[in-house]
Amino acid sequence: MTEESNNTHRKVRVTLSYRSCRCFSDNVTDPGIVLPFIYLAVGGPIFMAPLLVSLCHLASTAWQVFLTPFISISRKPKWYVFTGLVGMSSAIAFLGVAAVNIDTAWIILAAFVSVAIFIGLGKASDEIVFNYLMKQTIPREKHGILLFRPVAIGGILTIVITWLLHHAIPDTETLDSHLALLWAGATGYFVVALLASILPDAPPPGPEDDPSPGNRQEGFFSNLRNGLTDSLRVPWFRRFISARLCLLSGELALPFFTIHAASMHADEHGTLGAFVVATNVGLIVSGLIWPRLSQQSLKGVLNTSSALIAVAGVCAIIIDGVPFFHHEVNYAIIFFIAIIANQGISNGRKAYLIKAAPSSKALAYHTATANAVINIIALPYALLLGMLAHLQHVFWPLYLLIGLNLTAILAVLMLLRPDDATVGSTTQ
């Protein structure tokens, strides 16, 4: 009993360290805030800014679909994560070099696009492997801790390091102060890769995961097609997909707040750092409040988060219309609210899927299917709103975000409770 308890504590500590460092690296290279802000600071056209996060999501989708059959039968899926993290670190380092030493516009654009794609590949590996390993190796009562507490720890690390970088770089070097965040992220992802190498291994595959003659030997693509098709046949999962379509407006809200903020503050020194600090204070708060609320109601977490995004949109429109409020601190408050809501949606829907899936294999296919459907839709969604911001005004997408998030509340109310979904599921 004691040995088993110690082993569990070790797994939780290693996974907590991995997730905390991963959250820090994600924060300082965020494709929803940091990448588009830097992209706009170097003169990129507005309509491409939200596409960076959408390309990240689309790359994540494609990679998840490819990896799912391998991860569901692998004893050491952590090495998929290790490879993705090394690729992310290298791509971000290249962007840091290119932004300083290369003046050709198309190369800079290609560098931003490449980084967004590599971040998507790395996040795909992390999300599907992390869900799988947590389902297989971590007691269920620890899931909330490992989903939410690393967000707070990573936020503290981000605030401290951002503050140090701000004071270490002269005020006259505005671009360098932005790029310093990317270099911190490249270093952070390399450290996370090392931590990934000591994550717990998955237990031996069970009968439902064993690729034996009795368990589908039609080949890779047939196995993949059958797994994704089985997911869409599950009634509770189809409701989940519908809800996620509405929640997409909350998950993709940050780049549009970033575009709006950059239209007022892109030429002011230190604004990106202020927004990063604000978002990470929000991450700390979210890591404190969402675990408690998630134990009571995951649907409540999702609905509260959607309402907060709508509130942030209203505040942004008010700030835009009243010149007296055109101060970076006011917009930092909006980022604070938006990131709390974003984390509630992101981690809330992950927790719902983990609890509702009847097996680790079903979870892998449900995760890949949901992300495939949502992220394919995300690209034209972001392009449409980006063109609206580019051709009309940057606050117009905010009106749509407000309406869509209010609609998301109704969609979430239609979801089954996770335990009811598990009982009613037929996917094994």
Q: What is the pLDDT of residue 214?
A: 41
Cβ atoms of 343 and 283 within 8 Å: the answer is yes
**Greatest C-alpha distance within the chain:** 70
Query: What pLDDT score was predicted for residue 426?
Result: 45
Phi and psi at 203, nearest 5°, equal -70, 170
In SS3 terms, 122-143 reads as HHHHHHHHHHHHHHHHCCHHHH
Element (H, E) at 69: helix 49-71
**Distance separating alpha carbons of residues 385 and 311, to the nearest angstrom:** 19
The pair of three-digit structure tokens given for residue 332, joined into one six-digit string? 């930092």
Separation of CA 234 from chain center: 25
The helix or strand, by DSSP H or E, that contains position 305, with its residue range, turns out to be: helix 298-321
- The pLDDT value recorded for residue 298 is 85
Domains of the chain are 15-199+224-423 (1.20.1250.20)
> Nearest CA to 89 among 239, 226, 190?
190
> If we measure between CA atoms, which residue out of 171, 421, 128 comes closest to residue 298?
421
Chunked into runs of 10 residues, the chain (428 residues) has average pLDDT values of: 67 83 90 88 80 84 73 68 86 85 77 88 79 71 73 85 84 77 91 83 55 44 61 77 85 87 76 87 84 83 92 90 80 92 88 78 74 78 84 82 89 72 47
Amino acid in position 143: H
Please state, in angstroms and rounded to a whole number, the distance separating the CA atoms of residues 322 and 314: 13
**What is the pLDDT, as a whole number, of residue 54?**
82
Quote the pLDDT of residue 174: 75
- Tracing tokens 């409020």 back to the chain, one arrives at 325
Structure tokens at 426: 């037929």
Spell 185-211 as b/e; 16+ CB within 10 A means b. bbbbbbbbbebbeebbebeebeeebee
Within 13 Å and on the Cβ side, how many CA atoms surround 243? 26
- Whole-number pLDDT of residue 423: 46
Residue tagged 């109310």 (tokens): 413
pLDDT at 341: 93
Dist. CA 193–CA 21, nearest whole Å:
10
Phi and psi torsions of 173, nearest 5° = -100, 70
| SS3 labels along 74-108 | CCCCHHHHHHHHHHHHHHHHHHHHHHHHCCCHHHH
Dihedral, CA atoms, 339, 344, 345, 350, nearest 10 degrees?
Answer: 130
Dist. CA 25–CA 414, nearest whole Å: 35
Q: Which amino acid is at 89?
A: S
Q: Which residues are CB-contacts of 64 (< 8 A; sequence separation ≥ 6)?
A: 124, 127, 128, 367, 368, 371, 372
End-to-end CA distance of the chain: 31
State which amino acid sits at residue 91.
A
Half-sphere exposure of residue 338: CA atoms within 13 angstroms, side-chain side: 31
